[in-house]
Amino acid sequence: MGYQFTKKLHSDFESAIAKVTAALNKEGFVILKSFDLKETLKSKMNVDFRKYRILGACNPQFELQALSAENNIGTMLPCDVIIQEHKPGSIEISAVDSVASSMTFQNEKLGKIARAVRAKLKDVISNL
């Protein structure tokens, strides 16, 4: 089992971020954080890196269910989605597979929630 779903887009970087954010919102996710890895590596280490953004996506309904099923699941929240540019116009979008990450917990109720989250994230990625 892999740990993410991936799709390649032919787009500019900022448009890809907007498209992914809109697709996540459509599936009930909100963005809790947006982490610009390129900017951070440049400012903290003076390293040039490709455009790479991590979006911390949260679906409040599923997160509440998950926290009710497993009080320490917060260590694995939110669901991360990455947008990275390998070369201009070549964008890769990846989302975490919540089922793979929830396997650490031996909790069937949490597994059911993780499968529902995975289905939504798969829809987001496949519909880009």
Averaged pLDDT, groups of 10, the chain, 128 residues long: 90 97 97 97 98 97 94 91 96 95 88 94 95
Q: Given this model, what pLDDT does residue 1 score? A: 57
Q: Given this model, what pLDDT does residue 2 score? A: 83
- Report how far residue 128's alpha carbon sits from residue 114's, in angstroms, rounded to the nearest whole number: 21
Prior bond of 60 cis (ω within 30°): no
* pTM summary value: 0.91
Q: Given this model, what pLDDT does residue 104 score? A: 83
At 53, list the tokens. Answer: 């953004």
Q: Which residues pair with 96 in a beta bridge?
A: 4
Q: Which residues pair with 53 in a beta bridge?
A: 36, 83
